[in-house]
Amino acid sequence: MTKQKVGLVLFWIAVIWAFLWGVLASVFVDSAFNNLTMDEVNQTMWAFTGPWYLLWAFGVPLGALVAGIGILLYSSAKGSSIWKCGIGIFLGIIIGMVSGFLGHIPALFGIGGTLILLFFIGILWLWAKERMALKDAPTTAADLKLIGYMFMLIAAWFICGIASQPFLKAFEGEAPATPIHVMIFLVLGWLFLFLSHYKSRKQ
Report the percentage of the chain scoring pLDDT > 70.
Answer: 98
**Residue 91 sits in the same domain as residue 115:** no
**Residue 53 sits in the same domain as residue 140:** no
**Residue 93 sits in the same domain as residue 52:** yes
**Residue 13 sits in the same domain as residue 50:** yes
Last residue of one domain, picked from the residues 43, 72, 102: 102
**Residue 69 sits in the same domain as residue 128:** no
What is the model's pLDDT at position 202?
61
Mean per-residue pLDDT over the chain, rounded: 88
Percent helix / strand / coil, the chain, rounded to 5: 85, 0, 15
What is the model's pLDDT at position 137?
67
**Residue 132 sits in the same domain as residue 156:** yes
**Residue 108 sits in the same domain as residue 96:** no
Give residue 97's domain range: 1-102
**Residue 98 sits in the same domain as residue 118:** no
What is the model's pLDDT at position 136?
67
What is the model's pLDDT at position 81?
86
Nearest 5°: the CA angle 107, 187, 17 is 95
For the whole model, what pTM was predicted? 0.84
> Do the beta carbons of residue 7 and residue 75 sit within 8 Å?
yes
Q: What is the pLDDT of residues 56-101, one digit of tens each?
A: 988 999 999 999 999 999 998 888 888 888 898 889 888 888 887 7
Q: Which residues of the chain have pLDDT under 70?
A: 136-137, 202-203
Secondary structure E strands in the chain: none
**Residue 193 sits in the same domain as residue 120:** yes
What is the model's pLDDT at position 171?
77
**Residue 23 sits in the same domain as residue 73:** yes
The whole-angstrom separation of Cα 139 and Cα 95 is 38
Q: How many structural domains are present in the chain? A: 2
**Residue 74 sits in the same domain as residue 24:** yes
